[in-house]
Amino acid sequence: MQRRSFAAAALGAAAVPVLMAAAPASAQAPDQGGYDLDRLRREMTPVLSQELDDPATARTLVPWIADIGFDWHPPTAPVAELDFIVAYSFGNRPPAGGGDPTKVLYEPGPVNEALADTVAGVRARRHVPVYAQWEIASFLTSKYRMTDVTAIEPQIAADGTITYLSTAGVAAQVLAERKQAPGGIGTAGVVGFRDHVKRCVETTRLLGMTSAYAPRGITMPGTYDPQSGQAWTRRRELYLPYDMLAQWEMHYEELLTQYYPNG
């Protein structure tokens, strides 16, 4: 396998997210007529095997490289099969009145309003409970007057210091709520920003809600907010590496547990 051949395949696959940036993003498996991830994996393996001089390690790493770097679509399920919705926020806006951001809540911002609009679209198809980060929940209750919404709030210490929850922190709180549900945890419909939603589904499953999917046919918001209070959520070329690092950390922990289950 020549490196030039692999590079051509990699560039072709890498171009897909860029070309799709101008089009609405849908939580559905893409039409892969223009690229072939299986072929990309096959072509990656001998190149990395040669580079590392270690075929076994290459075979372990290549599926993750392909998944993290070249596949940004989550698994999906029909809305009719969802038992509840969990919605993860993306970015925010600095406090409108200024002040210490560690003790004054950030503003939810336009991206989280768009995520609330998406949740409302799912609820219009199927009335199920909603668990949403507070930034999204604030719009669900004020804009849509939606009921059966559980807001996942940041942690506020006795001195007023605010700690915002990570994606995993939100999933852990939702899991605790769902464990009390009469019918058990059930199937989660995950709503998240276009470039975040795949990791949201993976994290939801990892934290114990193993039946989790993006709602099939639902378009996820994909416009970045250049005024976001989180620098990595202002631009796509900043966010994608951030998300890939987070995915690598998840896979690393998985591999570590596989090889050393007892620590």
183 band by pLDDT with thresholds 50, 70 and 90: confident
Secondary structure, 3-state, 161-210: CEECCCHHHHHHHHHHHHCCCCCCCCCEEEECCCCCHHHHHHHHHHCCCC
Contact between 122 and 132 (Cβ < 8 Å): no
How far is residue 252 from each of residues 171, 206, 249, measured CA to CA in Å? 19, 13, 5
pLDDT (tens digit per residue) in 246-263: 999 999 998 899 899 987
Confirm whether pTM is higher than 0.75. yes
Interval 182-190 mean pLDDT: 95
Q: pLDDT tens for residues 40-96?
A: 999 999 999 999 999 999 999 999 999 999 999 999 999 999 999 999 999 999 888
Q: CA geometry: angle at 130 spanning 127 and 135, to 5°?
A: 135
Q: Return the pLDDT at 112.
A: 98
